[in-house]
Amino acid sequence: MFKTTVDPADCEVRSVIRFLNAKKVKPAEIHRQFLENYCENVMTDGMVRKWVRQFNDGSTSVHDEARSGRPSVVNDGLVAKVNEKIRENRRFTIRMLLNGFPQISKTVLHDIVTNRLNYRKLCSRWVPKMLTDVYKTK
């Protein structure tokens, strides 16, 4: 019995589909082999058939095509400006901070403050999550 692969990369799975398709293995058989050798939810039967169709139509790439999407407004410069604004007045609310940054939404701003800058609310004051011993004694 073969060792099952728990979390294969998408391009790895597609490469296997391309290889087996070149050997004229049917899509249903490819999916059955995936269920035996990979974790159960690696790829659905319909997706296997879709990739087989693409390879039969002449596609050779096993990677996703670039998609056009909404560009992210969060960059290092914006994070630095938000951090600077926070350090000016630690007793702020997200709504107050939003007045200084009208180009971004409240949820994105909250994500910057909590996830990117690692601040949390403590006694109505925003502080870094990792406090030093000096700050803990104060």
Match domain 10-57 to its CATH number in 1.10.530, 1.10.10, 3.30.1380, 2.60.120: 1.10.10
Tell me the torsion sign for CA atoms 102, 107, 109, 110: positive
Nearest CA to 119 among 95, 96, 88, 87? 87
**Residue 2 has what pLDDT?**
60
Both structure tokens of 40: 């159960």
Both structure tokens of 117: 């800058």
**Residue 65 has what pLDDT?**
79
* Residues 6 or more apart whose Cβ sits within 8 Å of residue 38: 4, 5, 8, 13
What are the structural domain ranges in the chain? 10-57, 76-116
Q: What is the pTM of this model?
A: 0.48
Both structure tokens of 24: 């004229």
Question: Residue 34, Cα to own-chain centre: how many angstroms?
Answer: 25
Question: Residue 85, Cα to own-chain centre: how many angstroms?
Answer: 28
- Main-chain dihedrals φ then ψ at residue 42, nearest 5 degrees: -70, -45
* Helix H or strand E segment including 120: strand 119-122
> For residues 108 and 73, is the Cβ–Cβ distance under 8 A?
yes
**Residue 122 has what pLDDT?**
65
CA separation for the pair 84, 19 (Å, rounded):
54
Question: Residue 41, Cα to own-chain centre: how many angstroms?
Answer: 19
> For residues 34 and 43, is the Cβ–Cβ distance under 8 A?
yes
Full pLDDT tens readout for the chain, 138 residues: 566 667 778 888 899 999 999 999 999 999 888 888 877 778 888 999 999 999 999 888 888 777 777 777 888 999 999 999 988 887 888 888 888 888 888 999 999 998 999 888 766 666 666 667 787 777
**Residue 10 has what pLDDT?**
83
**Residue 84 has what pLDDT?**
92
